Structure 1
Amino acid sequence: MTDQPTKFRIFRAATAPTLKQSNVLRYEGVTPVIAEGLQELGKAGIGDGSFAKILFNAPGFSLAYAWHKSDFPLPLHSHDSDCCYLVLAGEMRFGKEVLGKGDGVFVPADTPYTFVTGPDGVEFIEFRNVTSWNIIFKSGNPASWTKGAERVAALRDAWQTEKQPVGFVEPVE
């Protein structure tokens, strides 16, 4: 038996599971501070600022789509697998580097990173060489989680009416 795809497979964005519906992400190393911080972000409305689908998942390969709305604050984190992002529309900022349509970034496994989206948000495709991966949040500082939650709360109303830059994959209501 092989762990590689063995036949031609078509996938459709319309029927792809959302990240929440899939079973690809494992939360690891969640301390009480991180758990409380994630809870604060949830109450502030971080879920209203982001949407993701797993478009294709087969042994040794996954393809995801994500849309993060304007100024979305992604907490510092790492994963146990390599990842390659391709920007479809909008922008993502990694420190002083601004990535726009057609740009991308490779993030090696176990490399802590974060990004902030631009004023129009960002739509991107994410490639991985695995079918599931972990997420390890890096901040143990309660103040940084509170600051993130305050930022999310301030953006939440604006996120309600934002339209995707390209609308590559329609969100599920």
Structure 2
Amino acid sequence: MKIKEVIVVEGKDDTARIKSAVDADTIETNGSAIDEAVIEQIKHAQNKRGVIIFTDPDYPGERIRHIVTQHVPDCKHAFLPKEKARAKHDKEIGIEHASISDIQEALSAVYELVDIHEGEITKQDLIDYGLIGGSQSSKRRERLGVVLNIGKTNGKQLLKRLNMFHITSKQLDRVMNQIIQEERNE
């Protein structure tokens, strides 16, 4: 699988793992203290080939994603759930621990951020589906993030991501009905 865009990752171990899964070029941020030279490199890559941000599913990875998105707003995003990025015998989490097939799957489900269109999905929709304000909200948001491939979020982030990725009310309804059915079968 050849990836046209340049993939932004955290470090050299992520680069090595991605290159074993796909034919792609990467830019390494070397942590969340991203310097201006790296931001300029990402901007240049975005202008020439496009960029996919593919960071670890943890706080530092989300922070890097946020910083890059602020400076280079039109990037695409790939997400990997924590359970697919966990080292087998360790608590470490990172892209470098993911299987080749999980990396390929995450990169084939890339999302492009677009402007939020008001009125698509509302906070009330999230309340109605028990995604915020309920005892199972965190668990449901985590499952929704896996099914939609949009990463783990808190309630506020979820509403923003659903709208940025143009997830429709119809799509949300279908996925939430699936999640609720799974819960009943547990």
TM-score, scaled relative to structure 2: 0.24
Which TM-score applies when normalising by structure 1? 0.25
**Structure 1 or 2: more helix by fraction:** 2
Structure possessing the higher relative contact order (Cα contacts under 8 Å, 6 or more residues apart) = 1
